């Protein structure tokens, strides 16, 4: 796990810099979450940057899910479980990505930045950094990409560790 520490610190640093009082208020932020491994790591980094494993029930994390045209039931079940476990205020859109974000931002005009799980090896990720405004022709917002420099192995290591921890915790739960 030692090789995973530098990208984790950089990702957490990117999140923390947005969460400072002078950067943005919490209600100006959202997470793009589709239940995939990169988004799971993004969500875990975001929540850990808040200083608690889960958010208090009185506070929800604004989030957007751009659904695939043919979603797997298992993915939707996992997304639903994350909504409940991590107090996500998730809005689902079965639209192309550009239209989905345009609709989401029109419905949530306070949003200034969206955390996304883009990595450098993703299409169009090669020249991105931790912070990038959307490209011309897209709805305007700041993309925050804390996992941009994470490698496939690092994402899987954190995902597997998290899921193993969840299974272990479930076996220890009363009842």
Fold of 2-172: Rossmann fold (3.40.50)
The β-bridge partners of 63 are 31, 90
- Please state which of the ranges 29-43, 57-71, 97-111 shows the lowest mean pLDDT: 57-71
**pLDDT tier, 137 (very low <50, low <70, confident <90, very high otherwise):** very high
- The rounded radius of gyration (Å) of the Cα atoms in the chain is 16
Taking residues 78-106, what's their average pLDDT?
94
pLDDT tens-place string over residues 65-82: 999 888 889 989 989 988
**pLDDT tier, 123 (very low <50, low <70, confident <90, very high otherwise):** confident
Q: Which two three-digit tokens encode residue 9?
A: 């610190």
pLDDT tens-place string over residues 2-47: 454 555 555 556 666 655 544 567 788 999 999 988 888 888 888 8
Q: What is this structure's pTM?
A: 0.78
């Amino acid at each position: 796990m030692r090789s995973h520490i530098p990208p984790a610190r950089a990702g957490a640093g990117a999140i923390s810099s947005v969460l400072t009082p002078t950067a943005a208020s919490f209600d100006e932020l959202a997470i793009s979450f589709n239940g995939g491994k990169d988004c799971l790591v993004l969500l875990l980094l975001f929540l850990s940057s808040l200083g608690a494993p889960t958010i208090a029930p009185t506070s929800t994390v604004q989030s957007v899910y751009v659904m695939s045209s043919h979603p797997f039931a298992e993915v939707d079940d996992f997304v639903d479980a994350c909504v409940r476990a991590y107090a996500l205020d998730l809005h689902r859109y079965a639209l192309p990505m550009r239209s989905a974000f345009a609709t989401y931002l029109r419905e949530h005009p306070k949003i200034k930045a969206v955390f996304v799980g883009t990595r450098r090896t993703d299409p169009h990720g090669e020249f991105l950094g931790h912070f990038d405004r959307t490209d011309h022709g897209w709805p305007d917002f700041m993309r925050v990409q804390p996992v941009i420099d994470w490698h496939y192995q690092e994402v899987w290591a954190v995902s597997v560790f998290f899921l193993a921890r969840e299974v272990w915790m479930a076996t220890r739960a009363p009842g």
